[in-house]
Amino acid sequence: MSSNTDNNTRPDYDSVIQDIADYVLTFEVSSAEALNTARNCLMDTLGCGLLALKFSQCTKLLGPIVKGTVVPNGARVPGTSLILDPVKAAWDIGCTIRWL
């Protein structure tokens, strides 16, 4: 057996992932136009997601995989009372955002 199977430490991320993380953590936006554009994109995205909640075809796809499941400290789905596991919440948020 190789020594890797006995080693319980996580290997470093590859350089591309590390470069992206460094960029996200250290880059400072100095353009007011860029910040305003990002704000407008966020508001449009949230608006699309909230409007999608008016469509029953969309809302029937939302909610926990097992009905009645409670996830302590779960992730919230904007515009709903749902608190889900992070994977299902990501699906639900993506579903509402992309519905329209």
DSSP label at residue 10: P
- Does residue 92 fall inside a structural domain? yes
User: Residue 4: inside a domain, yes or no?
Assistant: no
Has residue 5 been placed in a domain?
no
pLDDT at position 7 is 77
> Mean pLDDT, 10 residues at a time, over the chain (100 residues)?
68 93 94 97 97 97 91 94 95 96
Structural domain that includes position 70: 10-99
| pTM strictly above 0.75 | no
The predicted structure's pLDDT at residue 61 = 96
Which residue blocks in the chain are alpha helix, DSSP H? 15-26, 32-52, 56-59, 86-99
How many structural domains does the chain have?
1
* Helices vs strands, H then E, count in the chain: 4, 2
User: What pLDDT does 68 receive?
Assistant: 87
Q: Is residue 31 part of a domain?
A: yes
Q: What pLDDT was estimated at residue 3?
A: 56
